């Protein structure tokens, strides 16, 4: 009897402690808020959806892979009762579809926009990068971010509240060999985010940028055209960040008091000091 009672107490304490820590983490400020997340079918976007759901937020989730989003929707609504989840199959390169998606939203408000969708294709230098790769990266990483922000901002201005959180990168802080066009897109995101900060400083709308270093997601696999061996080699000998690490920081940023704006956050794994400076353990 006693061991069972102790186990029950331990489980109850664990659940209660989690609830208390989550309230302290977000201050309860995200409960019932509506959060729009792009690129939510995998990686950082998926982890971010989970973190906002834990905080009691309603979600609008977009990605190209609608089947994954619908599975995620079911999982989130089964796990976090009381939240609403709306999914949209959306290619961030298609402005008319972006405008149409925002115009048909079932929610009357968007409190937080997380511009997370982005990708990299290959490591070609400027001299040889294809027009297709160039267009895909700039259209997704930059134009899509701008188009969606343009569609959401009027909703935020009408309510005089909101928060735009853009996914930057260390690649937006420094260029590196093999980065060429991708670095260009993330430098553009950095400049756009800074400009938007100036443009909205006379409103209550906040603007933030989260800039990760090495994060182990599908990112590298996409970069290398599905080559898992090459993708795994990127993180060999070191412990990279994972999507959950960045998701927690996004939710923390969004949950600060209204007068607090975390404008820019650069996040590395402990073994990384710059875009290309990484300490790797050698195998014995």
- Kindly tell me if the per-residue pLDDT of 146 is higher than 80: yes
The active-site residue, picked from 186, 230, 235, 281, is 186
Sequence-distant (≥ 6) Cβ neighbours of residue 118 within 8 angstroms:
39, 140, 141, 167, 185
What's the pLDDT at 32?
96
The band of 22, judged by pLDDT with boundaries at 50, 70 and 90, is: low
Q: What is the pLDDT of residues 219-252, one digit of tens each?
A: 666 776 767 788 778 889 999 999 999 999 999 9
- Cα gap 209→114, rounded to integer Å: 10
pTM of this prediction exceeds 0.75 = yes
Task: Answer yes or no: 182 catalytic.
Answer: yes
Q: Work out the mean pLDDT of the chain and round it to a whole number.
A: 90
Sequence-distant (≥ 6) Cβ neighbours of residue 41 within 8 angstroms:
61, 63, 64, 65, 68, 69, 72
What percent of the chain has pLDDT above 90? 81
The active-site residue, picked from 73, 143, 182, 235, is 182
What's the pLDDT at 9?
40
Structure tokens that stand for 260 in this block: 């607090």
- Kindly tell me if the per-residue pLDDT of 284 is higher than 70: no
Task: Answer yes or no: 158 catalytic.
Answer: no
- Cα gap 277→218, rounded to integer Å: 21
- Cα gap 128→136, rounded to integer Å: 15
Least reliable range by pLDDT among 9-13, 48-52, 179-183: 9-13
Q: What is the pLDDT of residues 61-115, one digit of tens each?
A: 999 999 999 999 999 999 999 999 999 999 999 999 999 999 999 988 999 999 9
């Amino acid at each position: 009897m006693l061991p069972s009672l102790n186990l029950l107490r331990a489980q109850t304490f664990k659940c209660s402690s989690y609830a208390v820590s989550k309230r302290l983490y977000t201050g309860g400020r995200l409960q019932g808020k509506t959060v729009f997340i792009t690129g939510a079918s995998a990686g950082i976007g998926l982890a971010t959806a989970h973190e906002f759901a834990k905080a009691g937020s309603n979600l609008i989730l977009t990605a190209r892979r609608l089947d994954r989003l619908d599975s995620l929707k079911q999982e989130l609504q089964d796990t976090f009762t009381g939240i609403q989840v709306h999914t949209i199959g959306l290619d961030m390169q298609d402005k008319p579809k972006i405008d149409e998606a925002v115009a048909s939203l079932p929610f009357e408000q968007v409190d937080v926009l997380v511009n997370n969708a982005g990708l990299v294709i290959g490591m070609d230098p400027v001299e040889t990068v294809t027009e297709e790769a160039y267009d895909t990266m700039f259209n997704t990483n930059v134009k899509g971010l701008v188009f969606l922000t343009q569609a959401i901002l009027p909703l935020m201005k009408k309510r005089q509240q909101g928060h735009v959180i853009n996914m930057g990168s260390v690649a937006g802080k420094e260029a590196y060999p093999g980065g060429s066009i991708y670095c260009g897109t993330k430098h553009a995101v950095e400049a756009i985010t800074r400009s938007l900060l100036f443009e909205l400083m006379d409103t209550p709308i906040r603007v933030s940028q989260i800039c990760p270093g090495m994060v182990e997601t599908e990112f590298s696999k996409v970069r290398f055209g599905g080559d898992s061996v090459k993708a795994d080699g990127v993180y060999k000998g070191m412990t990279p960040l994972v999507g959950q690490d960045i998701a927690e920081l996004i939710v923390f940023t969004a949950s600060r008091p209204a007068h607090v704006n975390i404008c820019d956050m650069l996040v590395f794994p402990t073994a990384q000091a710059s875009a290309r400076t990484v300490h790797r353990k050698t195998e014995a």
